[in-house]
């Protein structure tokens, strides 16, 4: 079971340090659940420093496929490794929708990060219009087709219509999608989409839900810690 917090473009270094100190305290006795936080690039170093010596991992929110080169604004797998990060998210729906990332690019990012020794959380999921059109399985099949099963790869199913909307897939919808994804690629699958302390236990209790990629609720340390603790009961 993995609970990862995607902070998106929130928390500079000072706020990150404060959060990580408190998270260390609240999760000091946590057992049986892997935990990761994914701060912005500018806050990765301080998160790595504050969480050193704990079982809480630090991952980036994106990664490029080249080790170096003329790619303004990008960060390579090797840079993340040198910094002490354990992994990276790739293919988040906001990267796809707002910044034009493609399935091919997501595949290249995942492959390069895995080859470099990073763990990868690769995001897949359909939009509301795609779900209403009955295209969910076609979308997931296409998005997963660029990924290859590896020990360090985890997929996150994030129905786009449930991200930041307050909506979340019912446990039954999540289970159905996760089972389908596992039929395509044999890796753990996290659920992402308005996960909160109130719904975490029921979602995480589904047979094919192996954890959560938490967005907004990961920005509050009490809320995020509560979801991590709920995972121990699932």
Number of domains in the chain: 1
Residue 2's DSSP bridge partners are 34, 211
Q: What's the pLDDT tens digit per position in 155-170?
A: 999 998 877 666 668 8
Catalytic residue among 94, 101, 158, 178: 158
Q: Give the H or E element holding residue 225.
A: helix 221-231
Q: Three-state DSSP class for 34?
A: strand
Nearest CA-CA partner of 230 in 16, 38, 32, 24: 32
The predicted structure's pLDDT at residue 165: 67
pTM of this structure: 0.95
Please tell me what DSSP assigns to residue 207. Answer: T
CB 144 within 8 A of CB 155: yes
- Indicate which residue of 64, 92, 94, 101 is catalytic: 92
d(CA 181, CA 145): 10
- Residue (of 107, 117, 48) closest to 81 by Cα position: 117
CATH number for the domain that contains residue 98? 3.20.20.70
Segment holding 124, helix H or strand E: strand 119-124
Kindly state the tokens that stand for 140: 């997931």
Domain that holds residue 151: 2-231
Note the pLDDT of residue 209.
97
148 is an active site residue = no
Dihedral pair phi/psi, residue 59, rounded to 5°: -130, 155
Tell me if residue 158 is catalytic. yes
- Render pLDDT for 212-227 as a digit per residue (tens, 0 to 9): 999 999 999 999 999 9
């Amino acid at each position: 079971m993995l609970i990862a917090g995607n902070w998106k473009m929130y928390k500079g270094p000072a706020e990150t340090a404060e959060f990580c100190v408190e998270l260390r305290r609240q999760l000091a006795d946590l057992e049986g659940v892997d935990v990761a936080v994914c701060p912005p690039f500018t806050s990765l170093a301080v998160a790595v420093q504050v969480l050193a010596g704990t079982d809480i991992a630090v991952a980036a929110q994106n990664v490029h496929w080249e080790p170096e080169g003329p790619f303004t604004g990008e960060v390579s797998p090797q840079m993340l490794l040198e910094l002490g990060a354990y992994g990276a998210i790739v293919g988040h729906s906001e990267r796809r929708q707002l910044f034009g990332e493609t399935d091919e690019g997501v595949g290249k990012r995942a492959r390069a990060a895995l080859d470099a020794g990073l763990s990868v959380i690769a995001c897949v999921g359909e939009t509301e219009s795609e779900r209403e059109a009955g295209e969910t399985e076609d979308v997931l099949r296409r998005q997963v087709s660029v990924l290859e099963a590896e020990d360090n790869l985890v997929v996150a199913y994030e129905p786009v219509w449930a991200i930041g909307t307050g909506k979340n897939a019912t446990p039954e919808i999540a289970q159905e999608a996760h089972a389908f994804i596992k039929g395509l690629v044999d890796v753990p699958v996290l659920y992402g989409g308005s996960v909160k302390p109130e719904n975490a236990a029921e979602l995480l209790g589904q047979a094919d839900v192996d954890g959560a990629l938490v967005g907004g609720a990961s920005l509050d340390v009490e809320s995020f810690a509560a979801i991590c603790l709920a995972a121990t009961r699932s």
